[in-house]
Chains A and B, each alone.
Chain A
Amino acid sequence: MIFAIKPFEIHDGDGIRTTVFFKGCPLRCQWCHNPESWSPKKELLFDAELCRDCLKCVSLCDAHIQSGTSHLFERKNCTACEKCVSVCPSGALEIAGMELSAEEIAEEALKDELFMKGSGGGVTFSGGEPLMQVDLCVDVARRIKARGVNLAIDTCGAVPRSAIDQILPFVDTFLFDIKAIDEQTHVACTGVSNKQILENLRYVDSLGIPIEIRYPYVPTMNDMEDERIACFVKDLKHVTCLRVLPYHSYAERKYARMGLPYPLPNVPVPTKEEISAVVEKLKKCGLANVSTF
């Protein structure tokens, strides 16, 4: 199950890339900008701002109810059957989740092969956590590598070692997230421990595969972790870059479309100056290649 294939992604590895977003994630990061990636199942997104109350969907299932002249969406009754999406004239209803075969995913992901090869780019598996569906990942990866295209895996690392071993033969680069080194902070931010994550990161490093470390910098959440992250990363041998990913709040509307409260309504978006200061601080900790977007 995936929820998107996005071309011309320049933030997910070298060159111009197409990113495949797999659905399902073991983490619940408070700042997550892809909440539709959490569940491994299809979900209906409803944008109340776009709904024109045409009521074309109300007769189709129990999730869509007429209230006076208005439309009400009862999420608890929704089975994500998708019938409503095709009759919605305004685009207010949308399904997150596509059941595509490995062949279909690879075909779509390779449509931009021209740009990948012309820019030193490739395909990136992201999510969600792609390695939660490692069999599908391997099947797609095999097809991508057969065409000689670069493959990067953007992983949170909270997966069994066996999943990493399965995908390893196909991976050119890992994009590996470190949300926090302090375990309590990590649990507070993501809902899970970071023990397995850091072990997997050391393991990947020991195999000599290039790794881009990604540090999502979220004020008031994990902004005290920078020095600890720097210390950890310094001990790794195959890190090509530590990239600071500044928190943004663009996903607020996505949460609304999923019927979820936005978890961080009061967290400020860091300024460019703040992020530059973090980058400089990390460099002073002895890391050679630190950057941001």
Chain B
Amino acid sequence: MKQPFFANRPLIENEFEQAIFDPSTGISPDELLLTLKEMCDAPTDEARPIVFAKAFAYLLDNVQLQINEHTPFSVKFNLGIDYTEFATKSILQIAVSPQKSRVRAEKLPQEYAQYRNFASVGLDWMMVDFTHTVPNWDYLLKYGFAGILQNARDSREKLSATEAPQSERLVFLDSVILCYEAIIRLLERIYAYSLRFDLPEFSKCIKNLSTRPPETLYEVMMFSVLYLYFEEAGVERARSLGPIDRLYLPYLEADRKRGMAEEEIQDLFRYYFIHFTAAKRFAEQPFTICGSDKDGKDLTCELSHMILDIYDEMDIYDPKIHLRCHKALDERILKKAARIISDGHNSICLINDEAVYRGYERLGIPREESQNYVISGCYEPIIMGREEAEICAMRFNTVKCVEFALNGGKDIMTGIRAGLASKTDIESFDELFEIFLQQLDYCTDFALDFIEKQGRYSTLINPSPIYSSSFAECIENGKDVHEYPLAYNNLSLKHHGLATTVDSLVAVKKFVFDNKEVSLEEIRQILAHDWQGYEELQARITSNTEKYGNNRPLPDQIMSDILEHIADRYCGKELARGGKVRLGLDSVYHCIKHGEKTSATPNGRNATTPISKNLCATDGMDRGGITAYMQSLLKIDFSAFLDGAPFDFMLHPSAVEGEKGLDDFVSLIKIFLSCGGFAMQGNVVGGETLKAAQLHPEKYATLQVRVCGWNEYFVKLSKLKQDMFIRQCEVMGG
């Protein structure tokens, strides 16, 4: 693209919202959806992967196109996705979605009923997670679209010598072939359409990608953009562009040898990044940079620096960066990242290689393998090309187990006995804690069992020919990735709401059992009536300093006890279908969703209000400041929680201002990493700024805050969420 980026930026940074598709190039999404629903729902003898592949091919053959002449990544597809609302569903996803409930109800009727029971009381949330895929970019870039099609055809020919004609393996390969034939047809269609425009480089790039693997930086970026579209058009969501510094460096060097100018290279990256900024995909589009190899050698390269410099200069938050940190990391990179974060550009998440390596070692996976991890989604590592981990299979509200423990397994707001029937004449805190753990085990056991059983039907719910095609193991063995052909086929459970759980248990210990200010029965009644008439007690409990996140021995010990229990019971647990259980502790927005269905809690929280987020202190309770919070967190053995356990910080800009502030911030990061912390992300913003933005949203339209593993515009958050940020800001020195 010879056109300078900055002249075109205003014309492309909102291009997805402003896209006008050419009706002559295909069928509208509404009409496509009707046909796709018929194709996906009609009774048929065809195997589900073939049904899906035919629907996918129909979509690609008929989807409307748009060409934007102001960007080298010119083409867009009218998949019916509303990119302005962080929506994720393409029309094909909508068409196939009834299948999930249908399969669950038909194949697992009893479990599905219990699952709905749990979900109705806000205990947990379980899904078949197709939205956190990490394709094997090495394989994809090596073969390209045409090469993968050829590999699938070759494999089919080879396997057909031994397999029955309608075997699952051949069916899978047939589905891949159908999909890739459709991809090649689409590329040819784009090429033909592009000739109407004066875009010779684009046309050539598309033409080349229809016949061979990418060979230039432009082609490799275009390939990635297109592949993401194809997963998105199906049912998945590729949640990492991979380690793009390592992946793209050979192409960059080759382009330089061919005489490509530095400014042109940098502009290409600018166009590439702004493509994702404009797409506004839910939770942003991540990629990973830097890291260490198995021996601790720094993998930072020239491109790592260039990427950070360009990212900084562009003042964007999407795509987001997962920066793999370690003790040998180039000091300039860490300082650069710290400065970008302290300037308020908060979509850089720092991941600790050592913590990740130890997490994999606990699962029996050596560093030779885990060194190739990238982060999928928010904080979850995946060994690219070797592992599938069903990242968000379950999110579990641990606060519910306090409620169940106090009430014999009964949910207070609905009256449903969703938990384990347990005794209510509890005589000591130890007894209560034991019952709490029993409730936790009962509910988690069920969830794990349900997810495992559900996994048997993954390919019936959502065949994954596109994602699977990125793995040699899938192509060579004729297996969908959800039939577990990879080296490591793990599954993830996430427990959240932990600070609210801990604070609640501490409150019962102190006010019921130690000080005997109130009886257990009275507490039950008080919570059932949402503290009405007991506001003074509520205020005293709330202001009590024994809260998680303040480096206090009692709450930190209870947190450790709970996490050790979860880790001992579930971390690395062997799955019947092969693979192991990974654990995580992040909540995303389930701290709000689950809070809405959770009655008042003994820590002074009112019913329906949010429970604690990620590993954060309960809202507004981290009064000891960032260092106390960090010390509480660092008491956790993160090796058991590979699936994400972030340290969310909130700092006032004055705390990181100037050279000294930056140096101290870098020290803070290094201390966190050297003490075994897992991941670090946060906001550098003042409470006064957030309050002003709440009052005058029109003046702060571009102000962003780190929500969980992603950013959102502060002024677009609900008042409830805005207030949570303001409170956190105020207590954490913001």
Contact = CB atoms under 8 A, between A and B. Distances in A.
B668 A293 contact: no
A89 B541 CA distance: 10
Nearest to A14: B660
Contacts of A81: none
B670 to A, nearest CB: 7
B525 interface: no
B657 A8 contact: no
A112 B627 contact: yes
Contacts of A111: 551, 627-628, 631
A56 interface: yes
B543 A91 contact: yes
Interface stretch (A21-29, A113-121, A125-133, A187-195): A113-121
Contacts of B295: none
B627 A118 contact: no
Residue among A87, A115, A121, A292 facing the most chain B CB atoms (10 A cut-off): A115
Interface in B538-571: 538-540, 543, 551
A92 to B, nearest CB: 11
B625 A6 contact: yes
B87 to A, nearest CB: 40
Contacts of B625: 6-8
B671 A10 contact: no
Interface string B362-400: 000000000000000000000000000000000000000
B624 A7 contact: yes
Nearest to B551: A111
A45 interface: no
A293 B657 contact: yes
A130 B654 CA distance: 25
A114 B671 contact: yes
Contact of A10 (B535, B538, B624, B661): B661
B543 A118 contact: no
A114 B658 CA distance: 23
Nearest to A120: B667
Nearest to A90: B539
A193 B551 CA distance: 44
A271 to B, nearest CB: 15
B30 to A, nearest CB: 54
B660 A8 contact: no
Contacts of B703: none
A30 interface: no
Nearest to B535: A89
A56 B536 CA distance: 9
Contact of A119 (B538, B628, B671, B733): B671
Interface in A1-54: 6-8, 10-11, 15-16
B680 interface: no
A10 B664 contact: yes
A291 interface: yes
A74 B670 CA distance: 50
Residue among B655, B658, B670, B671 facing the most chain A CB atoms (10 A cut-off): B671
Contacts of B543: 91
A135 B378 CA distance: 52
B29 to A, nearest CB: 51
Nearest to A119: B667
A112 B675 CA distance: 13
B626 interface: yes
B702 interface: no
Given A89-B535, A91-B543, A114-B675, A119 B631 contact: no
B160 interface: no
Contact of A115 (B538, B658, B671): B671
Given A10-B664, A118-B674, A119-B668, A291 B631 contact: no
Contacts of A118: 667, 670-671, 674
A86 B541 CA distance: 11
Contacts of B624: 7
Interface string B630-674: 010000000000000000000000111110110110011011001
Interface string A180-213: 0000000000000000000000000000000000
Contacts of B663: 119
Nearest to A88: B539
Interface in A124-181: none
Given A111-B551, A118-B674, A16 B627 contact: yes
A87 B660 CA distance: 42
A16 B664 contact: yes
B381 to A, nearest CB: 25
Nearest to A118: B671
Interface in B604-639: 624-628, 631
A270 B661 CA distance: 20
A111 B634 CA distance: 14
Contacts of A6: 625
Contacts of A87: 536
A87 B674 CA distance: 43
Interface in B289-321: none
A104 to B, nearest CB: 15
Nearest to A115: B627
A121 to B, nearest CB: 8
Given A111-B631, A112-B627, A15 B536 contact: no
Contacts of B733: 8
B536 to A, nearest CB: 6
Contacts of A86: 540
Contacts of A10: 655-656, 660-661, 664
B626 A8 contact: yes
Residue among A7, A10, A89, A120 facing the most chain B CB atoms (10 A cut-off): A10
B604 to A, nearest CB: 11
Contacts of B671: 114-115, 118-119
Nearest to B628: A7
Contacts of A89: 535-536, 538-540
B212 to A, nearest CB: 52
Given A7-B625, A87-B536, A16 B631 contact: no
Contacts of A56: 536
A88 B664 CA distance: 37
A115 B551 contact: no
A27 B481 CA distance: 73
A16 B670 CA distance: 13
A86 B670 CA distance: 40
A83 to B, nearest CB: 14
A14 to B, nearest CB: 8
A89 B534 CA distance: 11
B596 to A, nearest CB: 25
A260 to B, nearest CB: 23
Contacts of A115: 627, 667-668, 671
Nearest to A117: B671
A224 to B, nearest CB: 26
A87 B655 CA distance: 34
Interface string B190-201: 000000000000
A160 B661 CA distance: 34
Contact of A16 (B540, B628, B658, B667): B667
B682 to A, nearest CB: 13
A15 B631 contact: no
A91 B544 CA distance: 12
Contacts of A291: 658
A7 B661 contact: no
25 contacts: A7-B624, A7-B626, A8-B626, A8-B627, A8-B655, A10-B656, A16-B627, A56-B536, A89-B535, A89-B539, A90-B539, A112-B627, A112-B628, A114-B675, A115-B627, A115-B671, A118-B671, A119-B664, A119-B668, A120-B667, A121-B664, A291-B658, A292-B658, A293-B657, A293-B658
Question: Shortest 10 CB-CB distances between A and B: which pairs?
Answer: A89-B539, A119-B667, A118-B671, A10-B664, A7-B627, A112-B627, A7-B625, A8-B627, A16-B664, A8-B625
Given A10-B655, A56-B536, 18 more contacts: A7-B627, A8-B627, A10-B661, A10-B664, A11-B654, A89-B535, A89-B539, A90-B539, A111-B627, A111-B628, A112-B627, A114-B671, A114-B675, A118-B670, A118-B674, A119-B668, A291-B658, A293-B661
